[in-house]
Amino acid sequence: MIRLTWVQPEDLVGHELRQAAEDGRDVREIAARWRAAGGHDAPPRAGASEPGALRLRPLAERLLDELAAIQSPLDEPTDLDAIIAATPAWPARRTGTPPGAVPAVDPARLLGAWEGRAAGCVLGKPVEKIPREGVREIAQATGNWPIRGWFTARGLPAEVAARWPWNRRSAVNSLAENIDGVPEDDDLNYPLLALTVLERHGRGFTTDDVAKLWLDELPAGRTFTAERVAYRNLLSGVEPPETATHRNPFREWIGALIRTDVYGWVNPGDPATAAEYAWRDARLTHTANGVYGAMFAAALCAQSLVATSVEEVVAAGLSVVPPASRLHDAVRRAAEDAASEPDFERVLDRLHERHAGLHWVHTINNAALVAAALVHGRGDFTASIAGAVAGGWDTDSAGATVGSVAGALNGGVPARWKMRNSLASSLTGFDGIGLDELARRTGELMQA
């Protein structure tokens, strides 16, 4: 039997029960029925069901529909107008017609953003899925703690390697000894898709445009969690934004946050417009805090091209997130901790204690980690991406977003983090493209 991860109904119920606990729904009776039938409350990973789980599928489908009918008591809107209404500090949009209304941006900062995103992503790739303590033990065992360079298998004791195995798909092209150009990753494919949707449809692109582009250009096997569910929904005839909610327990996970850097880069100094573009993209797959995370990241990136400090960047990110939301609270507290605590390990202790119940690829904990790493790094590129990866959650995604911001603020990345100028991708027309060419095309969109 084919185990298709992230979409099998019997694998989704446990994740939906966990989501219900996060958004305040009372689903105890449904959970009891699921357990009594032999189902898991929170499967350790989607697709890992034991033989015989297929018998649970009819029940799982019924329970998923019952769970969807129970409304969350939290007031965390997904509609853009409602988000803006719930955000009193929502920034003013830049007015005027480009290019005159667009602030001058140093091309080195735009290239630095692309280079930083790539470097942070690749640093985190081999240790993705390894918990915080494992990341540290690997780094210490190879003389790379605090993290100051690429991970390596050279000199890694066999017992450490056995205890904390590398991410098997990534270690072949993201360790110091085998990096040859920038390897393919979803954290880099999605910015390419955002670039493409803007080039094809302009600033008036719609959620439907994003969906059609995915079907045309994005291989289904290169999607994960909420994106794979939305892809399945599209193929089943479900229309956006229902694609984000139909049997999609991953709708507040990190997938939308990693897709929106380009929307920020084409709107330098305009976090409001960047957030609106991010909303159009994110609503295909996510709701509430999943959408806010995408808007937060886009606003960070918009401000990073013109800002002079990380505090200014993080403030811009928070300005587009409803203050009453779980995401706003998590990011604000993380930034405060990072600003007041000199030992970043203690900052991470607080983050892990505070968000212990969240999945390692949830938006809330990872966005908080992004903010903490940026604030504590104080603009130092290496310290910033190292902090994001040392957190041990979604290491490549958090590393990529932090690298994007820190690279833009610094107008480039240190030589140790530069790779051969060739990005691998399964997307049509992008395999082997240089980061300098991507920066050039992004700059053209900035003036469009």
Give the integer Cα–Cα distance in Å for 41 and 14. Answer: 4
Same domain, 245 and 311: yes
Distance from chain centroid for Cα 218: 17
Contact assessment for residue 167 and residue 125, using Cβ atoms and an 8 Å cutoff: yes
Same domain, 32 and 87: no
pLDDT for residue 102: 80
140 lies in some domain: no
Beta bridge partners of 253: 362
Same domain, 54 and 117: no
Average pLDDT by stretches of 10, the chain with 448 residues? 83 96 96 94 53 84 97 96 97 72 91 98 98 98 98 98 96 97 98 98 98 97 96 98 98 98 98 98 98 98 98 98 98 98 98 97 98 98 98 98 98 98 97 98 94
Give the integer Cα–Cα distance in Å for 229 and 238. Answer: 11
Q: Which domain holds residue 39?
A: 9-68
137 lies in some domain: no
Question: For residue 228, which amino acid is it?
Answer: R
Residue 98, CA distances (Å) to 103, 105, 107, 306 in order: 9, 13, 17, 16
202 lies in some domain: yes
Same domain, 37 and 93: no
Same domain, 225 and 327: yes
Give the integer Cα–Cα distance in Å for 72 and 317. Answer: 25
Q: What are phi and psi of 182, to 5 degrees?
A: -95, 115
Domain count, the chain: 2
Same domain, 86 and 232: yes
Structure tokens at 133: 């303590």
b/e code 295-332 from CB counts within 10 Å (16+ = b): bbbbbbbbbbbbbeebeebbbbbbbbbbeebbbbebbb
pLDDT for residue 51: 53
Same domain, 282 and 407: yes
Same domain, 309 and 407: yes
Give the integer Cα–Cα distance in Å for 224 and 361. Answer: 11
401 lies in some domain: yes
Same domain, 53 and 95: no
218 lies in some domain: yes
217 lies in some domain: yes
Same domain, 192 and 62: no
380 lies in some domain: yes
With CA atoms as reference, report the closest residue to 372 among 321, 301, 314, 319.
314
152 lies in some domain: no
Give the integer Cα–Cα distance in Å for 194 and 214. Answer: 10
